[in-house]
Amino acid sequence: MQIQDVFAYFGNDLKRVGDYMEIYLKSEIKLIPDIVHHLIGGGGKRFRPLLLLATADLCGYKGERRYPLSAVIEFIHTATLFHDDVVDHAETRRGRVSANRIWGTEASVLIGDFLYSKSFKLMTEDGSLAILKLISTTTNLMSEGEVFELMKAGDTHITEDEYLSIVEKKTSVLISAACAIGGIVAGATDKQIESLSKFGMDLGTAFQITDDTLDYIGQQEEFGKAIGQDLRDGKVTMPLIRTMKKCTPEERTLIQKGIKNKDGNAAAAIMELINSYDGISYSLQRAKQYVKKAKEHLSLFADSEAKTALFTVADYVIKRRI
């Protein structure tokens, strides 16, 4: 099975999720759907809803609750994108001018808040206290991750463990929650739900490590943001952490000055160092290790189309170039 086969297999379900999202975005305040559509219309594969649908299928559930809950996960993810772009002063998102550049930071923050509040309204309507508790904890951890990342911005002494803590809080926990919800709606056992949660956590970490690595090697028109943007923004991610651990003191000083001053002219030299000290290959290898761990968490589930789909998604995370 290839990734396009996975999207084809869940194609009708993903369309239903999109239909629900459209219903929930209706508002007498026209600016709300206009801004949200600008972002979600710019691409994105609805990776998190796909995982919720696939894990629910894995546990034998194909009921209607999958769709609004998938919309909840996608709304929360989209809210974080609006907020991230404001914090990062981003100019583009998914190949388009970012919403904050068009409508301003105030509107972007408020639209993100709208999506968060809509998500919690939908969860109360669903009525599952377990899911409400899970997402409450998840969004709180995500907020902690955002603040920790802000604290570490431009910090060239950040450790790999600190970087991974940010990744887990900002990215992995929501992917983990999406997978766990698939089991919860299916009435899966606690052990199964825990396995799905761990699968999502490790997969999410692999996803973000790969995403950060692609910032140095991807193609801008496919990746959706300017290549090397993290470097110019002073974000120190795994390829750079690995490089700074192995490079000479003089080279470390060059990197530190470039990051501190957000010097675009130093970007080329720093990227050369990253290539010289295996920053890319090391990071991708770490991502592969997380994917391997993620797959192992599904060992208690019988073979099925859904399990094959989840394995395919896991493999795609480290093969992708977008």
pLDDT computed for residue 216 by the predictor: 82
Residue 231 and residue 270 in contact, taking contact as beta carbons nearer than 8 Å: yes
Tokens representing residue 166 in the block: 């940010």
Distance separating alpha carbons of residues 169 and 173, to the nearest angstrom: 6
CA R_g for the chain: 20
Tell me the DSSP string of 165-222.
HHHIIIIIHHHHHHHHHHHHHTT--HHHHHHHHHHHHHHHHHHHHHHHHHHHHS-HHH
Residues 241, 159: contact at Cβ < 8 Å? Answer: yes
Q: Any residues with CB less than 8 A from the CB of 102 and at least 6 apart, and which?
A: 38
pLDDT the model gives residue 221: 45
In the chain the domains, ranked by start, together with CATH numbers, are 3-319 (1.10.600.10)
Q: Which pLDDT tens digits describe the chain residue by residue (322 residues)?
A: 899 999 999 999 999 999 999 999 998 899 998 998 888 875 667 999 999 999 999 999 999 999 999 999 999 999 999 998 888 777 777 768 888 888 988 999 999 999 999 999 999 999 999 999 999 999 999 999 999 998 998 888 999 999 999 999 999 999 999 999 999 999 999 999 999 999 999 999 999 999 999 888 755 444 444 556 677 677 899 999 999 999 999 999 988 888 877 666 677 888 889 989 999 999 999 999 999 999 999 999 999 999 999 999 999 999 875 4
- Give the predicted TM-score (pTM) of the model: 0.92
Helix (H, G, I), strand (E, B) or coil at 92: strand
CA separation for the pair 23, 40 (Å, rounded): 15
d(CA 61, CA 185): 7
What single DSSP character describes residue 265?
G
